[in-house]
Amino acid sequence: NSKLEHGFENIHLKCFDVTSGPLAYIHFMETKLQKRRFVADYVFRSSNRPRNKTSECIWEHDVLREKIREFIIANYDYHNYCSRCLGSSDDLLLSS
């Protein structure tokens, strides 16, 4: 178990697969939350420079990508939890 899961009786962690597409979680939450009374206009705020995946060598090397994935899961509680949660009964998009 990760630090994320210890000592909180009233907190039940859930997860969702972001690779399902950006709208999957929004569609899921539409059934859980009430509509906002006042909807503000969306204002785009750039945060990161656009990526060019063709210039990132990791995408061409499956073994390297898997080694990095294993390292991240072993060393970061958040990713460790996610790797165990996805596909389980706590996966929001599978349980809906």
Interval 3-36: pLDDT, tens: 666 667 788 888 888 888 878 888 888 888 888 7
Q: How confident is the model at residue 70 (pLDDT cuts 50, 70, 90)?
A: very high
Query: How does the average pLDDT of the chain come out, rounded?
Result: 85
pLDDT over threshold 90, residue 75: yes
Is the alpha carbon torsion for 90, 92, 15, 65 positive or negative? positive
Specify the pLDDT at position 36.
78
Q: Is the pLDDT of residue 2 over 60?
A: no
The CA dihedral of 32, 89, 13, 2, to the nearest 10 degrees, is -170
